[in-house]
Amino acid sequence: MEIRNELSADSLQPKIDRLWQLSAEKINLISKEYDTSKGSPVFTVNGKYTTRGWTEWTQGFQYGAEVLQFDVTGDESFLAKARKNTVDHMASHVSHFGVHDHGFNNVSTYGNLLRLMNEGRIEENKWERDFYELALKISGSVQAKRWTNTKDGQGYIHSFNGPHSLFVDTIRSVRALMVSHLLGHSLMGENDVKTSLLERGTFHSLATAKYSVYYGEGRDSYDLWGRTAHESVFNTNDGNFRCPNSQQGFSGFTTWTRGLAWAMTGFAEQLESLSSFSDEELKQIGGRENIENIYLKAAKATCDFYIKHTASDGIPYWDTGAPLLYKLGDYTSRKSDPYNDFEPIDSSAAAIGAQGLLRLGKYLNDKNQSEEGNKYWQAGLTTINTLFDEPYLSTDPTHQGLILHSVYHRPNGWDNIPDGQKVPNGESSMWGDYHAREVALYLHRINKGLPYYSYLGAVRNG
């Protein structure tokens, strides 16, 4: 990536404003055209959202987008939709024991609505507050129940693949446990054994840093600073790590860039969350300094890898080890090309990862580490400057997606390849669109001097 140091958050406000205008049109178009009886919308085919996947992990992004739209614009119609859709459709996600996606579905809906009430943007209503808080409390404990112990006496939230499987994605979903803990909840087990959700969430984050992220320290022949594995596989009989693997990337020894992006933002958010926990709480699970150092190392490593292995304008290809990527030559020295003949772009990785770059940059700047902090901050702005403009911003009024050139599952061949093209392009995903809105909200609030946007807003005033 060629980091553009002349950019400022304020200079991007016109692009942010344009995105929100288009976002409103897209949300209304989906509400008008999408058949909800088919399940949650996942990604577009020829510009229309369709459903396909293993689990219902994207519905929270659909209705969470309505909350974010209201947050920025104050348009009450979006708030009304979000409230109704959360009540009508999200209960099954709260009690869903079969997925690792509670932070995606429930913090994006119940959490954002509660955050707005905490900020005074929604009128105070005790029944409504209790409803949101109860959903978030239960969601965190249900998520924490998906637990596999590791040999070191800690463990991880296992993926829908089974108890042997740690997904890097879940570092962004672990916030469900942190919110539940901060709301005063715990996981209750047999014989009323109480388990701390802070402990489980922290241990999962530490496991992700240890097993999903590489640091150039010789773990295997392909160990590079910041490389991530989508899946880490364990022997559940003794808790030993066995090997890296990938479900949606090219291999366990290459970096699927959306998984990388989840780690970038997840670790930056967990760094921010540490200030909400007492020294005594953290002492029981490794201590503040130790945990912070591990999170910071993982955040820096993954963000550095993104910067080094991404096209000059800040948009990555779908996997840094994709088999035909070599045919593009030195792709990091040129702007991204979603219409190339060899390997697809994944704009959703940019939408997710940009937030990680910005949050890490701010975190370091707040600690007076301005040289490093400015590097990550400006890298985030560089990415957004590209993402919030054509050919990535979707301006076609008939296209339901907001951000173009996202891919879902390249190995399975699920993504649409338009006529006359050789690789998937021109389509959107529910997670890419949502995270573009989320990072737009993040910068919008900074530009306007509004409360800092954080999932912790669900449990405290901004």
- Among candidates 154, 189, 159, which has minimal Cα distance to 174? 159
Domain 10-458 belongs in CATH node 2.40.110.10? no
Q: Predicted confidence band at 53 (pLDDT cuts at 50, 70, 90)? A: low
Q: Predicted confidence band at 55 (pLDDT cuts at 50, 70, 90)? A: confident
Supply the mean pLDDT for the chain: 97
Residues 6+ apart with CB under 8 A from 242: 164, 233, 234, 235
Q: What is the pLDDT of residue 153?
A: 93
- Among candidates 167, 163, 171, 170, which has minimal Cα distance to 147? 163
Quick one: tokens of 38? 């088919």
User: How big is the CA angle at 389 (ends 419 and 441), to the nearest 5 degrees?
Assistant: 120
Q: What is the pLDDT of residue 462?
A: 41
Query: Domain residue spans in the chain?
Result: 10-458
Tens-place pLDDT, residues 57-69 = 999 999 999 999 9
Burial class (CB in 10 A: 0-12, 13-18, 19+), 193: exposed
Q: Predicted confidence band at 52 (pLDDT cuts at 50, 70, 90)? A: confident
Higher per-residue confidence, 461 vs 349: 349
Tens-place pLDDT, residues 300-341 = 999 999 999 999 999 999 999 999 999 999 999 999 999 999
How far is the C-alpha of 78 from the C-alpha of 211, rounded, in Å? 41
Tens-place pLDDT, residues 383-419 = 999 999 999 999 999 999 999 999 999 999 999 999 9
Q: What percent of the chain has pLDDT over 90?
A: 97
DSSP summary character for residue 37: G
Q: What is the pLDDT of residue 38?
A: 85
Tens-place pLDDT, residues 227-250 = 999 999 999 999 999 999 999 999
- Among candidates 81, 171, 67, which has minimal Cα distance to 115? 67
How far is the C-alpha of 263 from the C-alpha of 8, rounded, in Å? 25
Tens-place pLDDT, residues 17-47 = 999 999 999 999 999 999 988 889 999 999 9
Quick one: tokens of 319? 């996997």
Residues 6+ apart with CB under 8 A from 331: 311, 317, 325
